[in-house]
Amino acid sequence: MAVRQGTHIRRETPAPTRSADESAFWSDVDRHVIRYGGSFSPEIIESASGSYVYTADGRALLDFTSGQMSAILGHSHPEIVATVTRQMATADHLFSGMLSRPVVDLSRRLAQTLPEPLEKVILLTTGGESNEAALRMAKLVTGGHEVVSFSRSWHGMTQGAVAATYSSGRRGYGPVAPGNFALPTPDAFHPTFTHPDGSLDWQRQLDMGFDMVDAQSTGALAAAIVEPILSSGGIIDLPQGYLAALKRKCEERGMLLIVDEAQTGLCRTGDWYAFERDGIVPDILTLSKTLGAGLPLAAMITSPEIERAAHERGFLFFTTHVSDPLVAAVGNTVLDILERDSMAEQVARSGDRLRTGLTDIASRHAVVGDVRGRGLLQGIELVTPEDAGGSAVATGRDALGAAITERCLELGLHMNVVQLPGMGGIFRIAPPLNASDAELDLGLAILDQAIGDAAANTGDRPA
């Protein structure tokens, strides 16, 4: 499948003047809405269905981000809508100490999708919350408090999760939880340790990283927490074999390995779980975004042995919405659809189509330096003359990335550029898992035109 260069997507019309209602909307935004990171899209979204979101002025935007990387079955999936409607009329929220059938059913069914001994489940709301629970459990069970995570990690905004997050948001908030150490991110496109052929020597990098961890540790190492594909960190797919080597490092030090599959879990990469490729089983697995298909549902999953030790030490993680039946029922419907539609196999095929299209775009646009990722979580990285020294920080890339994002939106495609300083030239591409071939092809064609238009307008040429 090839994307035709210069494909004209749509005839544009001058931007309409804002109505009084729209002006009032944005006035309310300016006056009342706290800015919480990045900038707001300039469109008012009125509705969403399938792979599209619809704006107040009637435009359809193809959503290549699945909302916040979460609406894996598209927006307003009819089976999800039916489940929410039914469950809201039955039991939506209960006292945290009460259990319902949807919660126990989902716990059992999640365990059945996983290798042994991952079979003990707690259902929560967000990725940050599930990672917080995992870190608390690891610290309690091991007796340590020190945590290792990647230098470009993102694990959430709660205390323990944000302390293990290095990609952004550390400055200006005072001390984080003590005992957090950064491990070098194995970025094959910007390798810091190389083989003679220039390729990334990730094993030597990992060894050096743990030499540094050991030098700083007070002997209280508790856990390493990692994403199999760093998403906010720039769609960095861990080299095959890395997770297995990391698990050995953890076992040698009495640490637990926590794998954060907020974005990669439940068929997103073409496997049910991204860690499966390395043939390892994490000590603790966390899920979130993909589990609720757009609703706030997360899970932490571990072994009976670890759960028993935590319980005996008084593990406490009461939250307002732990074990809520409404979202648990949605999670069951998500599993129904993924299993019925053989979604892992479907995503593997769609992912090949997406990769072919992105590779074709890269072959014709010199500003596209790299294509990476798995399944329907892929990314491209731009290169500009400012990158000549190999630096991962380039203001030229940020400007070009912003221009491409804006042009995509004008042409009817919502794309997500990494919203971190110096990384605005990296796009995260995550369509719904059930996006059609026609929708993938349309998105690729729009991206192709947007890159060409933006590069021509900014005068960017390869170094």
Active site residues: 154, 227, 260, 263, 289, 428
Choose among 183, 121, 133, 132: nearest CA to 155. Answer: 132
Contact 255, 223 (CB under 8 A): yes
Distance CA 42, CA 463 (A): 33
What does DSSP assign to residue 259? Answer: E
Which strands sit side by side in the sheet containing 221-226, from one edge to the other?
120-124, 298-302, 284-287, 256-260, 221-226, 146-150, 180-183
Distance CA 395, CA 455 (A): 15
Identity (one letter) of the amino acid at 25?
A: F
Distance CA 424, CA 395 (A): 8
- List, in order, residues 6 or more apart from 58 with CB less than 8 Å away: none
Q: How far apart, in Å, are the Cα atoms of 108 and each of 80, 114, 190, 341?
A: 20, 10, 42, 20
- List, in order, residues 6 or more apart from 375 with CB less than 8 Å away: 267, 268, 269, 270, 271, 347, 348, 350, 351
Burial class (CB in 10 A: 0-12, 13-18, 19+), 59: middle
What does DSSP assign to residue 35? Answer: P
Choose among 290, 307, 310: nearest CA to 298. Answer: 290
Rounded (10°) CA dihedral 211, 217, 219, 225: -80
For residue 202, what is the enclosing H or E element? helix 202-216
How many Cβ atoms sit within 10 Å of the Cβ of residue 199? Answer: 11
| 50 strand-pairing partners | 75
What does DSSP assign to residue 240? Answer: T
For residue 407, what is the enclosing H or E element? helix 395-411
